[in-house]
Structure 1
Amino acid sequence: MWAPTIRHYEGLFYVIVCVAASPRGCVVFTARDPAGPWSDGVTIDGVIGIDPDLAWDETGTAYVTYSDLELDGTLVVAHRGILQARADLVGGRLLEKPRRLWSGTGLVAPDGPHLYRRDGYWYLLIAEGGSGFAHAVSIACGPGIEGPLVGAPGNPVLSPSGTGSPVGCAGHADLVRGPHGDDLLVLLATRKAGSHSPLGRETFVTGVEWDDGWPKPAPVELNPRSQPLEEYFDFADDNALADPGWLAVGRTPAEIASAGERPGHLTVRAVSGGLGAFRPDFIGRSWTVRVAGDEVLLRIETDHPPLGPPWTGAGDRIRLIVADESGTETHLAELDGRFWAAETAAPFTGRVAGMFAEEGVVRFAHCRYQGEGHS
């Protein structure tokens, strides 16, 4: 499920998302409280694409605006730009044939549309350029929600491409009001470790000023942690997996691991065919991990790339280490981190470390993370 949009209208929270290449299609979920419970969802028939947005005009009519990307499994059949239609969110149907809306400046893959009403005008914010180095944020404006819309003279209004910034691939933004009443742009971007991005796309935020009716986002900057970070999970605690940072592939962490099967341990069973399976028996977090089992300590260490300009192509180093009960350490391998980075391994998510069962039953006593050096 790519790029859900969350909105609030007349006492209800809405989440709209397209389940790509699935019969479920575009689904709208509702809740009175964002913490839940949420509805089972209503499919909006007729929306074929990704990245749907939900907005209501002055009369309360709902509009779904989306990127018309048609997929056949994982293969792209067509990409027709940004489309929009009025929708019946209760009955689950479009009320008209989708119309073409503004689709950017001509860069590839216009997607991630979001509509806003401000000072009597409607603004359409989109991503274009693809999710890689050319990713950008562009905006258009017009008198009505259905257009016509005219692009900003300075489009794209945000793009780090060619700037030398350590923050790259910035795009897919949403305009929000901050806690102090200021306008903020929440977006996806990557940060470099040498020439590559080990953590893939992360969430960033930057300030927005307005000039002659157009938003002017500030350049996206790093905000590194000034102090070392340590996280520790003791699996003697039955609630150790309740932290929302845990993730699994295609399932919830609780479907992969059990904290109550053996006291003091987290039990992971290999039932899906190992790490190479479509849905491996794996739980993890987006950090480097130290895992203690019954008999050995397994450790993954990463170091920043050697100092030098990013065009040297150096990656960070990953070391796999095992220590026995006496404390004797054995270095199993040292790997080039470029092969576990967003630019090489996968375009969306980055490196995830965690625990898995290749075969049989594996039990873990605790899990610790230590990060320092601007990690």
Structure 2
Amino acid sequence: MIRNPILPGFNPDPSICRVGDDYYIATSTFEWFPGVQIHHSRDLANWRLITRPLRRASQLDMRGDPDSCGVWAPDLSHDGERFWLIYTDVKRYGRTTVGGASGASLRDFHNYLVTCETIDGDWSDPVHLNSSGFDPGLFHDADGRKYLVNQLWDHRPGRNRFAGIVLQEYSPEAQRLIGERTNIFPGTPLGLTEAPHLYRRDGWYYLLVAEGGTGWNHAVTMARSRDLRGPYALHPDTYILSSRTRPHAPLQRAGHADLVETPDGRPFMAYLCGRPLPNRGRCVLGRETALQPMVWGEDDWLYTEDRSGLPVLEAAALAAPAPPSGMQRHPRFAGGPRLGPGLSAGNDPAGRETATRHDFDDAELPLDLQWLRTPEPDRIFSLTERPGHLRLHGRETIGSLFTQALVARRQQDFCYSASCAMDFAPAHFQQAAGLVAYYNGSKFHYLHVSHDEAIGRHIRVMSALPDSPQADAFTPPIAIPEGRIELRVEVDYERLRFAFRPEGGDWIWLPEQFDASILSDEASQPGLPNFTGAFIGMACQDMAGTGLAADFDWFDYRERPYRDDPARADV
């Protein structure tokens, strides 16, 4: 069974591709490095993270990119010879005026193309395509020609900023766009038209777009034309998948979709969704990826299986074969891709495992961990300077847009426990390190060790609060002895509690309860980009510029049942 979301936690803007019997989904990573997550499956139900292709400075450098900018909406495809990946690097979203509102219409969206013969190989250096808008996608037509589609941004006063979907031919030989740019689809009155994908089936060109914004009004819109450049006629229902106006649907914010066909011709739709907290209505797990079967009607239009247009929680993964329909965007090939070292062509492990412990015994960072923006990880962490430990070098402030030492993983569960063991000997108040529940530079809860001239080494929590008159809040410092310390966080929906224990001691719970719901898209001042999700991880700062390091012996994350009082149970 497919159980949605198939990719829990921050995994938005899915692009799905099939090569032989192998399925791949690429999702956005925004300011987190390396760029673009790619998951693999052979049954559409069980998915495994296998690579992040944008991992060199020549491919991606996001230092200075604002929060929730960076890599948007990757598009993954295969043309029979190689994989093609298109992505946007957003460098400017808009300046912030007094009061927090966005005050700029000028934005910088740079669209790039990389290729590789194997999904987990070394992808090429990028080819710059254009900077006219975001959410680019590549369409491989039946005659071998390739076309780029993307959202068009219009900054002029009095204009619709989301100015439609433009199409232009791409020349692989010249490695650039050629010919005239054509606006093929202006969008519907729902507006905010973005995320275009093109397909060809039985003489029709089908255009899939997202509309309504990536919040509660999100929707998947379909149109078609006999001519690639249009005009495109709307689907009889206009929106073929959406949770808008359906507040009781368990999967909200459904939109930004892509299609794939099984070898027997059955269409499946991958799309983003959100699961609101029961008590607060905020999506702390971010925008997640869901998948469900679709059907082609007798009118040659696409529908959900029950024609409701609603996302589903469960569906059969691969049902009885159906006659092939001839969709040409994701062609069917006899053989699967060549898999690189460490990848098995067998089935993915059954079920979802969210209990992980990292002892940092290898020279490479575990795949579920990421860092922020910089393509120079050696400046912020090392796994070899102290073997068996993750060493974080204290750099800029937490929330810096350039070089901050923060290594974290996605929150994938509403109820979880996380803990770590740390060696850190700060000499003054500008040095800090610890365990952080993080969304971005203006939304986090940070249990950290520092030093004060009055009480010496101590522990406390710093919170950045987006919906409070007090932007930064601190708990009272608690004096602690020198030496190794273990840190712990317990999250139950919107409730977050911290604890610590010196080596050999008992857990000491901080009396404060923190609001975990601020680690969400919805907890924000209007006009600012908030498109990621909650992370939990380790951080270190040295604002004096002396680079004091913190050593982490292990890090543990595990899903668990709901607890009324986390202090009653051990990790």
2:498 aligns with 320
1:205 aligns with 2:291: yes
Does structure 1 residue 343 correspond to structure 2 residue 518? no
Amino acid at match of 1:172: H
Relative distance call for 1:10 and 1:178 in structure 2 (3 A) is closer
SS in 1 for 2:552: strand
Corresponding residue number in structure 1 for 2:552: 364
Query: How far apart are residue 115 of structure 1 and its match?
Result: 0.3
Which region of structure 1 is more displaced relative to structure 2, 6-15 or 118-127? 6-15
Q: Secondary structure at the match of 1:338?
A: helix
Deviation at 1:263, TM superposition (A): 2.3
Q: Distance in 1 between matches of 2:268 and 2:213?
A: 22
**Offset at 1:366?**
0.4
The answer on 1:217 being equivalent to 2:405 is: no
Give the superposition deviation at 1:193.
1.6
1:292 alignment partner in structure 2? 421
Match of 1:307 in 2: none
Residue 237 of structure 2 aligns with which residue? 154
Question: Is the 2:109–2:133 contact (alpha carbons within 8 Å) kept by the matching residues of 1?
Answer: no
**2:251 aligns to what?**
167
Aligned pairs for 1:170-249 (under 5 A) are 170-178=254-262, 181-194=265-278, 195-211=281-297, 212-217=299-304, 219-222=310-313, 229-239=354-364, 241-243=365-367, 245-249=368-372
Tell me the TM-score normalised to structure 2 length: 0.58
Q: Do 2:421 and 2:552's aligned partners in 1 also have CA atoms closer than 8 Å?
A: yes
After the TM superposition, which residues 35-54 of structure 1 pair with which residues of structure 2 at under 5 Å, given as runs? 35-45=120-130, 47-54=131-138
Confirm or deny that 1:8 pairs with 2:91: no
The alpha-carbon deviation at position 231 of structure 1 amounts to: 0.9
Tell me how far 1:185 sits from its aligned partner: 0.7
User: 1:236·1:365 contact (CA, 8 Å) conserved in 2?
Assistant: no
Find the counterpart in structure 2 of residue 312 from structure 1: none
- RMSD of equivalent CA atoms: 2.5
Give the AA of the match of 2:556. R
Point out the more displaced range, 166-175 or 76-85. 76-85
Partner SS for 1:96: strand
- Rounded Cα–Cα distance in structure 2 between residues aligned with 1:19 and 1:153: 35
Distance in 2 (alpha carbons) for counterparts of 1:251 and 1:296: 28
How has the CA–CA distance of structure 1 residues 179 and 300 changed in structure 2, closer, same or farther, with 3 Å as cutoff? Answer: farther
Aligned counterparts, 1:12-91, within 5 A: 12-21=82-91, 25-45=110-130, 47-69=131-153, 78-91=161-174
Cα deviation 1:257-280 (Å, max 9, x = unaligned): 211111221100112x12131132
Q: 1:99-126: per-residue Cα shift (whole Å, max 9, x none)?
A: 1112332212100000001122110000
Residues 69, 79 of structure 1: 8 Å contact kept: yes
Return the alpha-carbon distance in structure 2 between the equivalents of residues 227 and 286 of structure 1. Answer: 14
Note if contact 2:242-2:311 (Cα within 8 Å) is conserved in structure 1: no
Identity of aligned residues (%): 29
Q: Tell me the amino acid that sits aligned with residue 355 of structure 1.
A: M
Where structure 2 has 5 or more consecutive residues not aligned to the other structure, the ranges are: 1-70, 93-107, 315-349, 424-483, 543-547, 563-571
1:250 paired residue among 362, 368, 373: 373
Amino acid at match of 1:232: R
For normalisation by structure 1, the TM-score amounts to 0.87
Take 1:186 and 1:253, find their aligned partners in 2: how far apart are those partners?
Answer: 33
In 2, distance between residues paired with 1:336 and 1:13? 43
In 1: Cα distance, 2:501 partner to 2:173 partner: 58
1:252 shift after superposition = 5.5
Instruction: Give the conservation status (yes or no) of the 8 Å contact 2:358–2:366.
Output: no
Distance 2:510 2:419 in 1: 14
